[in-house]
């Protein structure tokens, strides 16, 4: 009996530790630096990404406003967010962002985000896409 309780306690402690790993992602500290480094050069009001899509990633409000066709961030659902799908290689390669394929529709070239950066942006969306 004592052993069983010990095992249960151990599992519970492990569970709490795993929960603790799901930390709150911050827009200002975690997400925006990635966008400033990898997106804003094309997605600001005087660059090609903005000209083609109407999408500026310069600040929180413009990220949430989306493209000329509408929002690309659906709070709490990275799987429904175009912004996530294009960075996570879940769309046609031509529109992967930043553009890095031979046949990319965009003229410029970028470097794909790292898995960790993609995960950070996905987690930020899944945690509500807050201005935090």
What does the binding site for ligand HEC look like in residue numbers (CB under 6 A)?
Answer: 38-39, 41-43, 48-49, 52-53, 55, 67, 72, 82-83, 86-87, 95, 97-99, 105-106, 108-110, 113
Distance CA 107, CA 60 (A): 25
Please state the closest distance from residue 81 (CB atom) to ligand HEC, in A: 9
Please state the closest distance from residue 99 (CB atom) to ligand HEC, in A: 5
For ligand HEC, the closer of residues 42 and 127 by Cβ is 42
For ligand HEC, the closer of residues 97 and 127 by Cβ is 97
Asked if residues 131 and 29 have their Cβ atoms less than 8 Å apart, the reply is no
Distance CA 101, CA 105 (A): 9
Please state the closest distance from residue 25 (CB atom) to ligand HEC, in A: 15
Assign residue 113 a region: left if phi > 0, alpha if psi is -120 to 50, beta otherwise? beta
Please state the closest distance from residue 21 (CB atom) to ligand HEC, in A: 24
Distance CA 93, CA 4 (A): 52
For ligand HEC, the closer of residues 52 and 130 by Cβ is 52
Asked if residues 74 and 66 have their Cβ atoms less than 8 Å apart, the reply is no
């Amino acid at each position: 009996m004592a052993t069983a309780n010990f095992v249960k306690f151990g599992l519970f402690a492990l569970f709490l530790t795993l929960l603790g790993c799901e930390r709150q992602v911050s827009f200002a500290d975690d997400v925006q630096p990635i966008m400033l480094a990898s997106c804003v050069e094309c997605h600001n009001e005087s660059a090609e990404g903005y000209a083609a899509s109407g999408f500026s990633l310069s600040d929180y409000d413009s990220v949430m406003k989306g493209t000329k066709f509408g929002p690309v961030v659906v709070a709490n659902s990275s799987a429904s967010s175009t912004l996530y799908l294009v960075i996570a290689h879940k769309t046609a390669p031509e529109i992967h962002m930043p553009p890095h394929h031979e046949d990319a529709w965009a003229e410029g070239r970028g470097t794909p985000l790292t898995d960790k950066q993609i995960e950070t942006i996905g987690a930020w969306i899944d945690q509500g896409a807050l201005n935090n």
